[in-house]
Amino acid sequence: MEADFVIVGAGSAGCAMAYRLSEAGASVLVIEHGGTDAGPFIQMPAALSYPMNMARYDWGYRSEPEPRLNNRRLACPRGKVVGGSSSINGMVYVRGHAMDFDHWADTGATGWGYADVLPYFKRMEHWHDGGHGGDPDWRGSDGPLHVMRGPRDNPLFEAFVKAGEEAGYQRTGDYNGRKQEGFGPMDQTVWKGRRWSAANAYLHPALKRGNCELLRAFARRVVIEDGRAVGVEVDHKGRRRVIRARREVVLAASSLNSPKLLMLSGIGPGAHLAEHGLPVVADRPGVGANLQDHLELYIQMAASQPITLYKHWNLVSKAMIGAQWLFAKRGLGASNQFESAAFIRSRAGVPYPDIQYHFLPIAVRYDGQAAPEGHGFQAHVGPMRSASRGSVTLKSSDPSVAPVIRFNYMSDPQDWEDFRTCIRLTREIFAQPAFAPFVRHEIQPGAAVQTDAELDAFVAEHAESAYHPCGTCRMGRTDDARAVVDPTGRVIGVDRLRVADSSIFPRITNGNLNAPSIMVGEKMSDHLLGRTPLPPSNDAPWVHPDWRTAQR
């Protein structure tokens, strides 16, 4: 049981690395605790609320009580299945803004500026614009990851974009191209009616090669001898064994499990490890620190016409949609229903968008509960760059015990101002003429909720995680005491051990994290193979010419 590269985690980055490393002729063994990704709950895009709430596919993590959110413990789903969180996510595809990556480079992640990462985004993509306009020169055309747009048949999708224009914002034909800022169609990782997860795009093709293997096992710790990672200790079929790596061990186990595994292996804050009786191999205080996430609200409106997806919120309709999908991979089941989006700036003086919208033509929660008012629609909205930081720590030295997850949401005073701005800007969009034929009244927060104090109380009670945790093994310079990995993913202070997943993000990106997580796997595989990175791109992104003085 050994290979050149042993990867822990068959998630977004792990699958991409397995594909690229095996393609280059190296032998790869991927360790994954979760089970198969076969079956309609995962493969049918419209069924997305099911796997996210199923213990079979989810690690079932919850945050510690969040003091500023009325001590609520928030759900923190992570995929425990082949494909990882790309098999249970909302399939929304957002690269992030160019300035996100330039910020990474400026803070010590040399070689990860936008010019450096854009070629990898292009390499991984096979983009289908579906006649909605876009920036083909900025997109990839032959990568493993199919990216497309939904049909956008429901009139509410265009009403959302039109309302944005009426409110004075720009339209964008492709927020993953030159111009993120504005209102327009949303990209999704769906292909031929199926969820196009990292498993479908990368891992299943890699496993057809003779040099890539998937091992269903529970990783307990990295085995380190004389300062070098030599393998991974796992529980496999009731036995404990060590899977050995001839070249390197790579952790791609998520921003919650990668820092946990490092700490169980003796890499992390020395005092914390000693508390749990763990020997200190490398004292890295940054392991588990710098935890970030996107928090969001749903602003829900009751609809005055029966045109929303609520008309399908019954067993007969769901059965018909399921049958149509099962036999033809077509119809409402073949889209995640997130088909319009927007990225805007909260105020003048902010150089690039810091608010994201997902628009949905039904009023429903992530757990699949529809609003009691029946027909409605909603915009998911939240600030993109909160200064609040949390942590992942050990509850126990027993690997089977879940980590302690403290997000520390809303701990920065600016967060409250940003959320109030999000709510008020969203109400302004829903009040535009484009929505006049469709709006009956506001369901949530409700028209009576107006003052700062009332809005703050609403946020404290109703804000939910957008499920974008990252940053807990921050990438930076080797002389940065708070950095965990260097810009090639190497764990500072340990040889032959790397981390490659969303935990290495120095700062959270603008939007959903699946695309940049896969990009990390793509780029890291070149570092693992000792290849010269792809040549940097010269494409210059669009920035609002009046950003210093205008909010829109």
Active-site residue numbers? 468
Across the strands, what pairs with 145? Answer: 125
- Beta strands 464-465 and 61-62, pairing class: unpaired
At residue 356, the 3 state secondary structure works out as strand
Taken in order 407, 382, 127, 544, the sign of the CA dihedral is negative
Nearest to 121 by CA among 107, 100, 103, 151: 100
Residue type, 282: A
Q: Is 302 helix (H, G, I), strand (E, B) or coil?
A: strand
Give the closest residue to 467 by CA, choosing from 378, 372, 382: 382
**Which residues are CB-neighbours of 241 under 8 A, at least 6 positions away?**
1, 233, 234
Q: What value does the CA radius of gyration of the chain take, rounded to a whole number of Å?
A: 22
Residues 6+ apart with CB under 8 A from 144: 19, 124, 126, 201, 202, 205
Beta bridge partner(s), residue 486: none
CA–CA dist 240, 238 (Å, integer): 7
The tokens describing 81, both together, are 């299945």
Total length of the chain: 552
Token pair in block for residue 222: 């990295």
**Residue with tokens 């964008």, as numbered in its chain:** 172
Give CA–CA dist 281/289, Å, rounded.
18
Give the long-range contacts of residues 71-79, CB within 8 A, separation 24 or more.
72/461, 74/407, 74/409, 74/464, 74/465, 75/366, 75/464, 75/465, 76/256, 76/405, 76/465, 76/467, 76/469, 77/52, 77/53, 77/467, 78/254, 78/256, 78/257, 78/469, 79/11, 79/34, 79/51
Amino acid sitting at position 383: P
Report whether 501 contacts 258 (CB < 8 A): yes
CA distance 19 to 207: 8
Question: What's phi and psi for 198, nearest 5 deg?
Answer: -65, -30
Place of tokens 């935990």: 503
Structure tokens at 379: 């915009």
Answer for the pair 207, 214: CB distance below 8 angstroms, yes or no: yes
| Whether the Cβ atoms of residue 264 and residue 220 lie closer than 8 Å to each other | yes
User: Do residues 355 and 383 touch, judged by C-beta distance below 8 A?
Assistant: yes
* 3-state SS class at 413: helix
Q: Kindly report the backbone phi and psi dihedral angles of residue 245, in degrees, each rounded to the nearest multiple of 5, phi listed first.
A: -110, 120
